Amino acid sequence: MAAAPISPVTARAHSNIALIKYWGKRDAALNLPAVGSISITLDGLYTDTRVGFHAGAERDSVDIGGRKVDAAPFTKFLDLIRARAGIAHRARVESWNNFPTGAGLASSASGYSALALAGCRAAGLETSARDLSILARQGSGSAARSIFGGIVEMHRGQAEGGEDAYAEPLLNAEDWPLGVVVAITDRNAKSVNSTAGMAALDERSDYYDAWVARAPDDLASMRDAIAARDFETVGALTEMSCLKLHGLMLSTRPGLIYWNAATVASMHAIRALRAAGTPVYFTIDAGPQVKAICAPEHTAEVAAVLADVPGVLDTRISGLGPGAHPLD
Ligand code: PMV
């Protein structure tokens, strides 16, 4: 039976940062990752998205931060929801990020996660968190993780159709409080988005096979360190995965260089702080921003040090946050 579209629904989803990174796809059409990943969901960075399906509308309309954007990529995603619900209604989508969009702060993770939840609810669909994760993954690989709060693992899966490529929580946010300081080194949108970056990767890095082959070991080591609440090991594995990811990006032909001078200076500042006795580790995604992971009681000190690094424009402090949830 077709689901009945109801009134518009607003959902909030928080951004996440991978400690063990995902890069590369085993199926581009279904957006299936070549490797699993482990992330933390952030309370300080989120997207609110309102979706309504309307019988009379001729096409989907999408606003981000009050500005109309090209709806085409979102129509593809909304079609997945319409197909499940058995409806043809066009959608009105309004989305707001409380942080810069498309600048390596994972707005696609929070954005597609919020859109999946608000869209399904607005279409009258009852969906499990796992189904939402599978759906969100089709918008953006990292979005599958933002359905859940705390510390989250995304499974690569083996199934051709992607039924086993979903995220699951490892620990709730309250189970092990961690802090994150984001150092913004560039406010502009990133030059090569992750989809384009991964497409360029396809068989064009000599390191790609090694990256995929080592992923299960890296994930297992991180799972163990998290279960033991061993922060030093979590931090060391986080830096290792970040540097390995960037080694892979640098070795793609042509090489992808996401760092600027302030990115590199921030990495050194974090290591210097650590050498001086503060347990803090860095990670960086497909953009120039640096994320420092530490205990919540060290975030103010870490933010002060990063704010002093030449080229750092701003810092933001965050803790671990909840999974996607409706706001209405
Ligand atoms: O979710 P996507 O397709 O934008 O890819 C995210 C890739 C990284 O942020 C670099 C790593 C990760 O696992 O989040």
Q: What is the CATH number of the domain that holds 239?
A: 3.30.230.10
Is 106 a residue whose pLDDT tops 90? no
151 domain-assigned: yes
- Residue 193: what pLDDT? 83
Choose the weakest-confidence range: 71-75, 147-151, 200-204, 234-238. Answer: 200-204
Overall number of domains in the chain: 1
pLDDT at 107: 81
pTM for the whole structure = 0.95
Question: How close is the Cα of 283 to the center of ligand 1, in Å?
Answer: 12
Res. 103 pLDDT band, cuts 50 70 90: low
3-state secondary structure the chain: CCCCCCCCEEEEEEEEEEEECCCCEEECCCCEECCCEEEEEEEEEEEEEEEEEECCCCCCEEEECCEEECCHHHHHHHHHHHHHHCCCCEEEEEEEECCCCCCCCCHHHHHHHHHHHHHHHHCCCCCCHHHHHHHHHCCCCCHHHHCCCCEEEECCCCCCCCCCCCEEEEECHHHCCCEEEEEECCCCCCCCCHHHHHHHHCCCCCCHHHHHHHHHHHHHHHHHHHHCCCHHHHHHHHHHHHHHHHHHHHCCCCCCCCCCHHHHHHHHHHHHHHHCCCCEEEECCCCCCEEEEECHHHHHHHHHHHHCCCCCCEEEEECECCCCEECC
Which atom in ligand 1 lies closest to the alpha carbon of residue 154? 13
What value, to the nearest 5°, has the Cα angle with vertex 138 and ends 137 and 139?
90
Q: What is the mean pLDDT of the chain?
A: 94
Per-residue pLDDT for 104 more than 90? no
Q: What is the dihedral of CA 45, 247, 258, 36, to 10 degrees?
A: -30
Please indicate whether residue 141, judged by its CB atom, sits closer than 6 Å to ligand 1.
Answer: yes
| Per-residue confidence (pLDDT) for residue 217, from 0 to 100 | 98
**pLDDT > 90 in the chain, percent:** 87
In a domain, 3, yes or no: no
In a domain, 1, yes or no: no
Average pLDDT over residues 10-25: 97
In a domain, 276, yes or no: yes
**Lowest mean pLDDT: which of 153-162, 198-207, 308-317?**
198-207
- In the prediction, which pLDDT does 231 show? 98
Does ligand 1 lie within 6 Å of residue 156's CB atom? no
**How would residue 236 be classed by pLDDT, with cut points 50, 70 and 90?**
very high
Q: What is the pLDDT of residue 258?
A: 94
- pLDDT for position 3: 61
Q: Does the C-beta of 37 come closer than 6 Å to ligand 1?
A: yes
Q: What is the mean pLDDT of residues 125-143?
A: 96
Kindly indicate the confidence band of residue 235, based on its pLDDT and cuts at 50, 70 and 90. Answer: very high
Atom number of ligand 1 nearest to Cα 20: 13
Q: What is the percent of the chain with per-residue pLDDT over 70, rounded to a whole number?
A: 96
108 lines ligand 1 (CB under 6 A): yes
Look at residue 1 in the predicted model and tell me its pLDDT.
Answer: 41
2 within domain boundaries: no
Q: Tens digits of per-residue pLDDT, 39-79? A: 999 999 999 999 999 988 899 999 999 999 999 999 999 99
pLDDT score of 135: 98
Answer whether 127 contacts ligand 1 (Cβ < 6 A). Answer: no
Q: What is the pLDDT of residue 199?
A: 81
Q: What residue numbers bound the domain in which 101 lies?
A: 9-326
170 Cα to the center of ligand 1, angstroms? 19
Residue at 4 is within a domain: no
* Rama region for 65: left / alpha / beta (φ>0; ψ in -120 to 50; rest): left
Task: Answer whether 238 contacts ligand 1 (Cβ < 6 A).
Answer: no
